[in-house]
Amino acid sequence: MRQEPRAAPGQTVVQAAPVPSKKTPPETPPPASTSELVRFGVAVERPLLDAFDEHLARRGYQNRSEALRDLVRAELTRDAWDRGEQAIATISIIYDHHVRELTERLIEIQHDHGDRVISATHVHLDHDHCLEVVLAKGPANQLKRLADRLIGAKGVISGEVSGMAIVGRPRAAPVHAHEHGHSHDHAPAAPRRAPARAAKRS
């Protein structure tokens, strides 16, 4: 039998229980491929729990467990990114394509990291401005270096990098061995640009 966790004075024991709301279906069991669920008690101050519940309601979570799992994954992802582990980066930059040699410079930087860049999407925002979104995969420290170079290039108006990592999952083989139901090759794709600019690629 599981023992009920006890709260210290001033604390409230939080069970992995549904958030009181009109729509509280029973916890959805995870897909068969994930690990077995483990329950544990968490002691937390009442005001913190109330704030958490309000946050869950705003976000549309139907129970605390799912929200807590997401928070844990987000923190583990941040940590994996900080420690330079295998990750996926989305790097977005906005720049003025009239700035001398900037377009060429941005292409050059991507070619320098060609084994990490999966794709590049270019959007002509208006007469002056371009948006480029680069997807890259590899050790987070290399992805950060790529992002720093792109965002830091002289003439780039604004830039943002978002790092993701697959955390809290059983380790998979580096080249995937699972069935897709469709075929495609896994050779690293060359960075691509909008057709209008394809001729400028080296």
Taking CB under 5 A as the binding criterion, the range among 39-47, 82-90, 121-129, 163-171 that sits at the site for Ni ion is 121-129
130 is a site residue for Ni ion (CB under 5 A): yes
CB nearer to Ni ion: give 36 or 126. Answer: 126
Beta bridge partners of 138: 87
140 by DSSP, 3-state: which? helix
Q: How far is the CB of 124 from Ni ion (least distance, A)?
A: 4
Residue 150: C-alpha distances to residues 43, 110, 164 (Å):
45, 8, 18
Place of tokens 């709301």: 21
What is the rounded CA–CA span in Å between residue 14 and residue 40?
A: 9
Pick 55 or 98: Cβ nearer Ni ion: 98
Stretch that binds Ni ion, among 50-58, 76-84, 100-108, 128-136 (CB under 5 A): 128-136
With CB under 5 A as the contact rule, the residue among 55, 98, 124, 154 that binds Ni ion is: 124
200 binds Ni ion (CB under 5 A): no
Are residues 16 and 66 in contact, defined by beta-carbon separation less than 8 angstroms?
A: no
CA gap 160, 148 in Å, rounded: 9
User: Smallest distance, Å, CB 105 to Ni ion?
Assistant: 14
Q: Which is nearer to Ni ion, 76 or 94 (CB)?
A: 94
Piece of the chain touching Ni ion by CB under 5 A; list 9-17, 30-38, 130-138, 166-174:
130-138
156 binds Ni ion (CB under 5 A): no
Answer yes or no: are the C-beta atoms of 56 and 19 closer than 8 Å: yes
Q: In what order do the strands lie in the sheet with 86-96?
A: 117-124, 129-139, 86-96, 156-164
Residues found near Ni ion in the complex (CB under 5 A): 124, 130
